């Protein structure tokens, strides 16, 4: 996933906003807690269709729209 990709919210299973569509506006690496041995993973900021911004979203909660 990269900046500019159109994505759909898939959430953590059942979610009231499931299927909402937005655009990735920022990708940033983050250090996961010490229990994960400092593993780095990416987080995503998304501008949703309604104008709200989702910050630091997990990749597993988003799906790229083809």
Asked whether 7 and 65 are in contact (CB, 8 A), the reply is: yes
Verdict on whether the full-model pTM lies above 0.75: yes
Q: What are the residue ranges spanned by the domains of the chain?
A: 6-31+39-64
Tokens of 2: 């990269």
The CA-CA-CA angle for residues 15, 36, 23, to 5°, reads: 40
List, for residues 1-49, the tens digit of each pLDDT value. Answer: 999 999 999 987 666 666 789 999 999 987 665 555 556 789 999 999 9
């Amino acid at each position: 996933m990269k900046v500019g990709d159109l994505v759909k919210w898939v959430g953590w299973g059942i979610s009231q906003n499931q299927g909402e569509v937005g655009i990735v506006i920022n990708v940033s690496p983050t250090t996961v807690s010490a229990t994960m041995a400092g593993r780095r993973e990416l987080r995503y900021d998304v501008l949703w269709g309604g104008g709200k911004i989702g910050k630091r979203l997990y990749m597993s909660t988003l799906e790229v729209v083809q």
